[in-house]
Structure 1
Amino acid sequence: MTQSTRCDIGFIGLGVMGKNLVLNLADNGYSIAAFDLDNEKVKAVIAQDKFESKSDNARVVGCSSYTELLSKLKTPHLIVLSVPAGAPVDQVCESLIGGGVQPDDIVIDTGNSLWVDTVKREEKYKNNFILFSSAVSGGEVGARFGPALMPSGSAYAWTRIQPIWEAISAKVDSVTGKPLERTKPGEVVNEGEPCTTYIGPAGAGHYVKMVHNGIEYADMQIICEAYQVLRDGLKLSAEEIADIFAQWNKGPLNSYLMEISVDVLRHKIDVDGKQIPLVDVILDKAGQKGTGLWTAMSSLELGTPAPTISQAVYARSISSMKNIRVQASELLIGPETLSLSEEEKQSFIKNLHDAVYCSKICAYAQGFQLMKQAENEHGWTLNFSSIAKIWRAGCIIRAAFLQSITAAFERNEQLENLLLDPYFVEQLNNNQLNWRQAISTISLMGIPAGALSSSLSYFDSMRSNVLPANLLQGQRDYFGAHTFERVDKAAGKKYHVEWATADKEMKQVE
């Protein structure tokens, strides 16, 4: 096999995401040497490629080993990994070293690796090959027809990867910011802005993807809380709630997650000869793969509050406590059923819409502030306008809302929090009363709404120029001599009260 007849890209890992990325690459004119430990998956992707391309010309070539894969690639090699985060990534890297990978070869990890692991791997393998990372968002459909891609690592490697990533990524109209969607095999979108950009050094891309997933947790939980309020508080059917969500999706809440929520709520299955909404038979125990938890942990480590995101993680955890919840439901009482007139119901639905919208703003504000703090902590240079841009299509949290976030960071590159941007200030100020009324009514209904209510608490905390931390500092000084600053003295000066003495003398602490 000559250099000119070898494949452009090696691909390892042909699960749901890997298979669809391979087909996406093939649609965009790249030849792929594919390998998976399960040879049936190799056969399946080759068969699907032949069926979709309606051609016997091999765009995807199967390989039975790492050595064979490397032998079928143009040099220097470009290899994409789509394997589970953690040990499997290192296992593949070690196998590639054994198979003959070279120092100028590029290996791209597209999984949801923890960002600190990516930093360690780049250092570990730097003498064997160039490790590059590129988190992928969009699920299997995004991977197939255009995901959002968050690459980071070697700037040199990015020059080789950039044209490929820009080709396969989702695209948005450069004027309207609306997605330019393709939904059929073989389609290619060459116009518009690609939903990928170089994020920064090793780990930066995976960190941004981690925060993306944290926001995703929050957004999903906010929608789910609205669903429960409408179902249990207003006694609406799944179909009626779908109609409300479909209407909401025509306005500022337009998003992929709202769109799929409508589809899920409308879907019915046959149960004993009756058509039942699928959602009514799904067990209320949520799973999670860890990225939301990582985001919450990072917010605690950096001292940057993300209560809506954290609450979404807690909500999934408490959902898993099904047996305890069933027992407690028979012991603990809530308020009497709240009776609302039809007019009051319609007013409440409007308030709930505004509560969802404001809570969503807060969730994104928390995520972007967390990324900004991480930028400062780790010496990265993140372009937040570009990050918002690449999330406008392809990814799970894609939404019309992101165009406004893009504009906010274009107005002010140094914006510390979205709650300080004039547009979002106006949105929150105009809707905060309806938000409060919704939370008040939900509380009287006795329905849990941790994400919606914690978002309101975050908003109120952020708009308070004085918080009760003054008493807290007094408490800390009382039992632990932790000292405090004074509002009437120079910043940085510390004071301590001798609480155990009769006169409780206060002294400046050097």
Structure 2
Amino acid sequence: MQHESTSVAAIGVIGLGVMGKNLALNIADNGYRVSAFDLDVSKIRTAEQQALHEFGTQDRLTGFDSLPSLLASLATPRLIVLSIPAGKPVDAVCQSLIEAGIETSDIVVDTGNSLWTDTIEREQRYREHFHFFSSAVSGGEMGARFGPCLMPSGNADAWQHLAPVWEAIAAKVDSQTGLPLERTAPGQTDIQGEPCTAYIGPAGSGHYVKMVHNGIEYADMQLICEAYHLMSSGLGMSAADIGEVFGRWNQGPLNSYLMEISADILAQDDPDTGAPLVEVILDKAGQKGTGLWTAVSSLQLGCPAPTIAEAVYARAVSNQKSLREALSQQLAAPANPPQLDKENFINALESALLCAKVACYAQGFQLMAMNAADQGWQLNFADIARIWRAGCIIRAGFLQQITSAYEAEPNLEHMLKADSFAGMLAEHQQGWREVVAQGVMLGIPVPCISSALSYYDSYRAAVLPANLLQGQRDYFGAHTFERTDKPAGDKYHLNWSQSPRDLVKIG
């Protein structure tokens, strides 16, 4: 660790926790000199030692014990990456950088899971001191080290300085197949392929896209868990047998990182007891808030995203373990649960999972589109689907189809309007319906699979019962209604409390 500059580095990294350290090593691995800082001196030393071990030299990553010395070590305009917890710590570091002498031409990149509205506010707050830029990061520890998915947004000129670094360190995919070209060890930096990063748009847009990514992730995980529950409780299958089914599905249209790791988890025995590990893991799920933010945003925009919301609720229900245990002894189960044909049900379940996954992604892309319209952003949805194909938690072969759909029709109003998806749902919907029906009859909760089907059926319906709802609203609150036989926008009210009940045109 050094106390003053001895050479010029290309980029600084502040925050050397799991993600920050691995991002710094990834950047250094790709030929950039990195200056690093953390309030915890031991983390600086750990990063330096790992860099020396991996690269055989101390020149790639150098630690500094103060922000002024880190700033002095960097080429100008300075490029500084923050990998620190979202919220107040971001502002604390930004204020410290101002006190340390950061300049107006310098660029500070927030890579944490910040709320997108906070990012917009910070760009305004710090513009007189430096360029505040943001880039959401997905992929976890291994992604950060060997190729994450990166979603940058903010000042377009600042992006030009960051772009070469981000394109170098990002995950890569084969441009023809869309499949990941994985890097698994230091020095594997010559992989040629499309980088999983692209400029998303103005301040906040990258963090919004990442937020929706995480909402989709919540739903995708819950969908797989519901399939596991149906096979475990409905068919009486062992964890290992379910893992084999997931492994088989992973070779087809359901190919994804989450399916792959689910198969691996189900095959794992507990080192202590020898029982399937999944059966000794307590069924209480944690969350860090981004799924909740996605559900809240959908409600604020009036954009239906029921499958994402149900995934958040499922985690909430899981945490009420003691109440569930008590009610399981009190609430009645179905009296005559059906007997399932194992092979037919597993085939139907594969169809259900595929259809629900399509509906889930459609919800996420519609949500991004509606917020983009609200914020005046011009989002490239083909690019977003393209960069999600590798390096992130929801990476999946299925994203190649989404990429193609938006490439063919950039202004696609809704993902389900693409012929490829409408055809897929038509082909597989019968199995989807059978699974939901059987889940209900078995008494096994399938909130995400069933909400996705209701979402599909709601958009399939040219007429919904909201006409009665508007009648109810007008009855108790004089909220008015439009008529099917009059021009759009004309409002009417019926004087429900009078006799005779007169119809009045309002406005």
TM-score (norm 2): 0.98
**Residue among 38, 41, 45 paired with 2:40:** 38
Return the offset for 1:189.
Answer: 3.6
Partner of 2:404: 407
Residues 213-224 of structure 1 mapped to structure 2, 5 A cutoff: 213-224=214-225
State the distance in 1 between where 2:190 and 2:389 align: 16
Distance 1:95 1:330, change over 3 A: same
Determine the C-alpha separation between the residues in 2 that align with 1:337 and 1:184: 55
* Inter-partner Cα distance in structure 1 for 2:39 and 2:57: 25
Structure 1 residue 384 corresponds to structure 2 residue 381: yes
Partner SS state of residue 5, structure 1: coil
Paired letter, 1:16? V
Contact 2:5 2:70 in 1 (8 A): no
Distance, in Å, in 2 between the alignment partners of 1:334 and 1:416 is 43
Query: In structure 1, what residue type is equivalent to 2:248?
Result: Q
Counterpart AA for 1:462: Y
2:158 & 2:287 partners in 1: Cα distance?
A: 32
Alpha-carbon distance in 2 for matches of 1:191, 1:478 = 65
> Does the Cα contact within 8 Å between 1:233 and 1:338 map onto a contact in 2?
no
Residue pair 1:107, 1:132 contacting (<8 A) in 2 also = yes
Corresponding residue for 1:97?
98
C-alpha contact 2:257 2:395 (8 A) present in aligned 1 = yes
SS at match of 2:150: strand
For the pair 1:120 / 2:121, whether they are aligned, the reply is yes
Deviation at 1:58, TM superposition (A): 2.3
Give, in whole Å, the separation in 1 of the partners of 2:179 and 2:317. 37
Residue number among 355, 360, 363 corresponding to 1:358 in the alignment: 355
Counterpart position of 2:315:
316
Q: How many residues align?
A: 505
> Structure 2 unaligned runs (5+)?
none
> Do the aligned partners of 1:169 and 1:196 also contact (CA within 8 Å) in 2?
yes
Q: Which residue of 2 aligns with 1:424?
A: 421
CA distance in 2 between partners of 1:420 and 1:288 (Å): 32
CA distance in 1, matches of 2:317, 2:174: 41
Q: Which residue pairs with 2:188 in the alignment?
A: 187
- Provide the rounded CA distance (Å) in 2 between the counterparts of 1:241 and 1:196: 35
Counterpart mapping for 1:436-475 below 5 A: 436-475=433-472
User: Within 1, Cα distance between the matches of 2:37 and 2:71?
Assistant: 10
Q: Distance in 2 between matches of 1:345 and 1:93?
A: 58
CA distance in 2, matches of 1:416, 1:467: 20
Aligned mates of 1:372, 1:231 — CA distance in 2: 38
Quote the offset at 1:2 in angstroms: 11
The residue type equivalent to 1:173 in the other structure is D
- Alignment match of 2:492 (pick from 471, 481, 495): 495
Residue pair 1:362, 1:458 contacting (<8 A) in 2 also: yes
Gaps of 5+ in 1: none
Contact 1:180/1:189 (<8 A) preserved: no
Alignment CA distance shift 1:14-1:3 (3 Å): closer
Alignment partner, residue 13 of structure 1: 15
Counterpart in the other structure of 2:282: 283
**Aligned AA (2:33):** S
8 Å Cα contact 2:35/2:63 also seen in 1: yes
C-alpha deviation, 1:3, in angstroms: 9.2
What is the SS of the residue equivalent to 2:411?
Answer: coil
RMSD: 1.3
Letter of the structure 1 residue corresponding to residue 48 of structure 2: I
CA deviation string 1:277-305 (max 9, x = no partner): 11111111111110000000000000000
- Cα deviation code 1:232-270 (max 9, x no counterpart): 111111100100000110111000000011111111123
Alpha-carbon deviation of 1:56? Answer: 2.8
Query: 1:227 matched to which residue of 2?
Result: 228
Contact persistence 2:284–2:318 (CA under 8 A) = yes
Cα offset for 1:57?
Answer: 3.6
| Distance in 1 of aligned mates of 2:472 and 2:270 | 58
Residue of structure 1 in register with 2:244 after alignment:
243
Amino acid paired to 1:27: D
Q: Distance in 1 between matches of 2:36 and 2:51?
A: 12
CA distance in 2 between counterparts of 1:336 and 1:484 reads 44
Residue type matched to 2:37 in 1?
A: F
Q: Which amino acid aligns with 1:28?
A: N
SS at match of 2:274: strand
- Deviation of residue 275 (structure 1)? 1.1
Q: What does residue 396 of structure 1 align with?
A: 393
1:432-451, CA deviations, whole angstroms, 9 ceiling, x for partnerless residues? 11100111111111111100
Q: Which residue of 2 aligns with 1:266?
A: 267
Aligned residue identity for 2:67:
Y
Q: CA deviation at 1:190?
A: 4.3
Alpha-carbon distance in structure 2 between the residues aligned to 1:314 and 1:339: 27
Q: Secondary structure of the equivalent of 2:271?
A: strand
Q: Which residue of 2 aligns with 1:304?
A: 303
